[in-house]
Chain A
């Protein structure tokens, strides 16, 4: 069984469109995250969500919004897509937040290409 699964794997769309990426974890973890990995391979935190507490990276445009129907799901919705949004987006989870040794479990990534 896949621990953290996200769909779709690839997403190609036009500028200005709205799109969503879904993420589900079956590990029973309390915290989920969205990361953006750009062409230089830096992983940048976008959001973390823990027991209904949303922590937003202030550099993320408000066109990006996470939606969590329950503890096992954290979807990412993007409005008015721009060329600069092209990147690989990773969902991840950890048992809890705020502990030093907590390791992250990542989904397989969604490669978003905005044309």
Chain B
């Protein structure tokens, strides 16, 4: 079967750096997405990786290793507004999106 694993919950301090990991096993691969979802709101797109390496976008970076079936989302200079769930999703060989359950990130002052 296909599955995506992420930690259920993480806690970090305002101003610090946090890395949220995602591992996946899918039938084929056509890219990996990270979405942010604040409580009670819709998921919003953060990043897309299809080639190995690091994609940087402001305070957020996303890394992909296809050979390891592994990605991480790196958040720098954490702000209270970064408290949210972070969803990892993989597009499989049939272009279907497979979603992880998300990592709830709690930021403390």
Contact surface of A with B, Cβ cutoff 8 Å = 4, 40-45, 90, 97-101, 103-109
Closest chain-B Cβ to A12's Cβ sits at a distance in Å of 16
A46 to B50, CA, bound (A): 25
| Chain B positions within 8 Å of A108 at CB level | 41-42
Binary flags per residue of B30-41, CB closer than 8 Å to A gives 1, else 0: 110100000011
Q: List the B side residues contacting A99 at CB < 8 Å.
A: 95
8 contacting pairs across A/B (C-beta < 8 A): A41-B85, A42-B99, A43-B89, A100-B31, A100-B50, A105-B45, A108-B41, A109-B40
**Which among B41, B50, B87, B102 is the interface contact of A109 at CB below 8 angstroms?**
B41
A44 to B40, CA, bound (A): 17
Number of B interface residues, CB 8 Å? Answer: 22
CB nearest to A57 among chain B residues: B96
Question: Would you call B48 an interface residue if the criterion is a C-beta within 8 Å of the partner chain's C-beta atoms?
Answer: yes
- Partner of A41 from the list B45, B91, B102 (CB cut-off 8 Å) is B102
- Structural contact, B48 and A103, CB atoms closer than 8 A: yes
B106 at the A interface (CB under 8 A): no
Rounded to whole angstroms, the CA-CA distance of A19 and B79 in the bound complex is 40
- Contact check, A97 vs B97: say whether CB atoms are below 8 A apart: no
B45–A103 touching, CB < 8 Å: yes
Contacts of A90 in B (CB 8 A): 42-43
What are the 10 A-B residue pairs with the smallest beta carbon separation, nearest first?
Answer: A100-B30, A106-B42, A100-B31, A43-B99, A103-B45, A41-B102, A98-B95, A41-B101, A42-B101, A108-B42
CB distance from B59 to the nearest CB of A (A): 19
Q: Assess the A100–B95 pair: CB atoms within 8 A.
A: yes
CB-defined contacts of A41 to chain B, threshold 8 Å: 85, 101-102
Give the distance in Å from the alpha carbon of A108 to the alpha carbon of B33 in the complex.
19
Question: Which residues on the A side are within 8 Å of B102 (C-beta)?
Answer: 41
Kindly list chain A residues whose C-beta atoms are within 8 Å of the C-beta of B96: 45
Q: Mark B46-86, 1 if CB is under 8 A from A, else 0.
A: 00101000000000000000000000000000000000010
